Amino acid sequence: MTTTADDLIAQVRAYNPRTNEALLRDAFAFGAEMHEGQFRHSGEPYFTHPVAVTVILAQQQMDDATLVTALLHDTIEDTKASFRTVSDRFGVEIAELVDGVTKLTNLQLTSTQTKQAENFRKLFMATSRDLRVTLVKLADRLHNMRTIKSMRPDKQVQKARETMDIYAPLAGRMGMQWMREELEDLAFRVLNSEARNSIMRRFITLQRETGDVVQKITADMRVELEKVDIVASVVGRAKKPYSIWRKMQEKDLSFSRLSDIYGFRILTATEADCYRVLGAIHQRWRAVPGRFKDYISQPKSNGYRSIHTTVSGRDGKRVEVQIRTREMHEVAETGVAAHWSYRNGERVENRFAVDPVKWISQLTERLDDSHDHDEFLEAVKLEMYQDQVFCFTPKGEVIKLPRGATPIDFAYAIHTRIGSACVGAKVDGMRVPLWTRLKNGQSVEIVTAAGQKPQSTWIDIAVTGRAKTAIRRSLREEDRERFVRLGRELARVAFENVDKKATDKALRTAAKTLAIDNAEELLARLGSAEISAREIVRAIYPELAEKQGDEIDSKRAVVGLAADQQHQRGGCCQPLPGERIIGIAFRGRGVVVHAIDCEALADYEDQPERWIDLHWQEGTHSPTNTVTLDVTITNDAGVLGRICTLIGEQNANISDLRFIDRKPDYYRLLIDVDLRDQEHFHRVFTMLEADSNVSSLSRHRDPGLASVV
């Protein structure tokens, strides 16, 4: 049946007698005019779609601005209407809301798991100014899914997958559980109609065999509540087909073995009655361990409050019971949308409704701070899907974890020491990989071993912040040991280069001179490139640093400069004595020296007046010209130490070392080596290139460092 303007206004007036009837009529007429001649895939006039979207929002008792936005939400995108047209006729607020829906529709959202974080980022950022944009878009998607059969089969699958992956979870995140369930069921009907039909057939068979179980359990609950003089309404229902299918997949159970397929909701007048109801239910039926959640004392961030418990009902069947007040129920049904609800012409003041401005600002603040999509998803996903799993230790203790947690999370939840020593796990007596996702009710035993340390791959396996923090801390400590070993080797080579030995006493003296706590900290900083080996040698033997003999002073190593000009080597190409060079003059900064083939020189082709012809001073240059080597070596014991030794044997000093890639079979690193000239470079390069553990070697140059020393 076609909804007319009168029908819509009558529906709105039922909950908001003070609605602006003229505004709604005008928007209805304008939308109909703009979409005149447009048709949907089903052959219906296109304007029936915006009207249906508006009706969905009216059922949520939304304000006039949101309803008008729904009527006009496709006008700017699909008709000749412009932002200016809508703004002049309906005001800036509505024009901005319509424009927001248009931008949200045009977002390129990809329905794949790897893109999920990026999709949620786009959605939240696009709606950060006004959450009503999202409410209109969700209602738009709901109506499109209700009428999806008129689309091509391939389009149906695309839209259904997008709905399942993006819009249904978004509705859940906003607290609109009824919409999430319907979107999931509509998408499930498209994506796996055979499974859905099978579940529906099993339900019919079960009802024929056992009778109306929901009605029987509902009557039993009412009797128990009457015994303790609690006035409350009890409503029961079978769970949605998709919800049942998901449980079957998660628990790897057949339909016949699935027990908690019925859900019951008890609504009370007061919060105190909620806990009285809980007591009455638990006294009558046995509670299922690990299935109790109190969202009244610890509400979800979208305002959801309720008590959840699962009990063994008639014939041992498990049933889920939700207990909450009527105010809480209103928020549970409409979520964030409850903020805009009207009743009798007045904005409803529901003390449990979350402030959408505060909610979205907190979320988008995290988005602004997070530049990594995966990092953002890790931080937000637990809020998107707040389900938890409860597992048992061998002694029967309950461990609460977020859904998706692994045995590693379980181990660290018991104790950091257990987590760090973990080498394996048994779930319900069966050995499983550490990346196994745990399920409700499982018994988990952690296998430990002395000397075991956390692996870097655990970071990607763990879900909980506690586990990830402990793993990172342990890896840092392990890195420190490695840095100390590397620093000791670098110190040995540097000291031998000046005919000295890096004794413990010498290192302690250097640490004291450099105001570092102890020799081990000194070596750790050297290994992590926080200080250079040259600084340590200079701290003990300053006379060796000053002793240059017949070496050319680095300040006068270049010929061709004016008397008052200073020079610095370009960090981009790191030119060496013996190579052809050119200078680029900078006002107030002297001259930057580049190799003749440096890519950065292209930036100055149109400024010939700044070019200076230079060449190196003849003679022996000091070993202070740093060159960066890009080296890939095999990840075997002692390889890095030998590479450092090879460089030291050529009387070259390593001033810095940075790992840029670490894999199980190789390391890639940048090594800064202090050299005399081009010939010195070739000796070092040839020696390294000949080593069997060096898989690749090149001179690292970075055009982005054109003016860096």
Mean pLDDT for 615-621 is 80
Query: Contact, 324 vs 274, CB < 8 A?
Result: yes
Instruction: Give pLDDT, residue 377.
Output: 47
3-state secondary structure of 53: helix
pLDDT at 661: 81
Residue 408 has pLDDT above 90, yes or no: yes
The answer, yes or no, to whether residue 623 has pLDDT greater than 70, is yes
Q: What was the pLDDT predicted at 485?
A: 83
Query: CA-CA distance, 658 to 128, in Å (whole number)?
Result: 41
Closest CA to 377 of 167, 118, 108: 118
Residue that the structure tokens 């952690």 belong to: 446
Rg (CA), the chain: 35
- Quick: pLDDT tens for 312-348: 865 667 788 999 998 888 777 766 665 555 444 455 5
Most confident listed range (164-173, 185-194, 235-244, 660-669) = 185-194
Maximum C-alpha span of the chain:
106
Residues serving a catalytic function are 77-78
Encode burial over 405-438: b for 16+ CB neighbours within 10 A, e otherwise.
bbbbbbbbbeebeebbbbeebebeeeebebebeb
What is the per-residue pLDDT for 253? 55
pLDDT digits (tens, 9 = 90+) for 246-296: 766 665 555 555 556 778 899 999 999 999 999 999 988 888 877 788 888
**Closest C-alpha to 464, from 398, 388, 392:** 388
Structure confidence at residue 385 as a pLDDT band (50, 70, 90): very low
Pick the residue with more confidence: 49 or 587?
49
Residue 666 neighbours by CB distance under 10 Å:
16
E runs forming strands in 299-387: 307-312, 318-325, 342-343, 346-347
Which residues does 577 contact at the CB level (< 8 Å), separation at least 6? Answer: 557, 616, 617, 621, 625, 676, 677, 678
pLDDT of residue 365: 55
Average pLDDT over residues 496-512: 84
Question: Mean per-residue pLDDT for 97-107?
Answer: 76
User: Which parts of 326-360 are beta strand (E)?
Assistant: 342-343, 346-347
Category of 555 on φ-ψ map: left (φ > 0), alpha (ψ -120 to 50) or beta: alpha
pLDDT tens digits, residue range 18-61?
A: 889 999 999 999 989 988 888 888 888 989 999 999 999 988 88
Give the helix/strand (H/E) hosting 280.
Answer: helix 271-284
Per-residue pLDDT band at 370 (split at 50, 70, 90)? very low
pLDDT value of position 363: 55
Helix H or strand E segment including 266 = strand 262-268
Average pLDDT rounded to a whole number, residues 238-250: 74
pTM reported for the whole predicted model: 0.50
**Dist. CA 12–CA 136, nearest whole Å:** 16
pLDDT, mean over the chain: 79
- Report the range of poorest mean pLDDT among 290-304, 458-472, 637-651: 290-304
Tell me the backbone φ, ψ of residue 464, rounded to 5 degrees. Answer: -75, 150
How many other C-beta atoms lie within 10 A of the C-beta of residue 68? 26
The 3-state DSSP class for residue 225 equals helix
Q: Transcribe 64-111 into DSSP letters.
A: HHHHHHHHHTTHHHHSS--HHHHHHHH-HHHHHHHHHHHHHHHS----
Q: What is the pLDDT of residue 2?
A: 77
Tell me: pLDDT of 480 over 80.
no
Please state, for a pLDDT cut of 70, what percent of the chain lies above it: 82
What are the phi and psi torsion angles at 632 (to 5°)?
Answer: -115, 125
User: How many Cα atoms sit within 13 Å of 400 on the Cβ side?
Assistant: 8
pLDDT at 54: 92
Residue 214's nearest CA partner among 317, 284, 308 is 317
d(CA 179, CA 163): 11
**For residue 686, is pLDDT > 90?**
no
Query: Band of the pLDDT at 379, cuts 50, 70, 90?
Result: very low
SS (H, E, C) 472-539: HHHHHHHHHHHHHHHHHHHHHHHHHCCCCCCCHHHHHHHHHHCCCCCHHHHHHHHHCCCCCHHHHHHH
Residue 630: the pLDDT is 93
Does residue 611 have a pLDDT over 50? Answer: yes
| pLDDT tens, residue by residue, 630-659 | 999 888 778 888 888 888 878 888 888 888
Domains in the chain, start-ordered, CATH in brackets? Answer: 5-193 (1.10.3210.10), 195-347 (3.30.460.10), 387-463 (3.10.20.30), 552-709 (3.30.70.260)
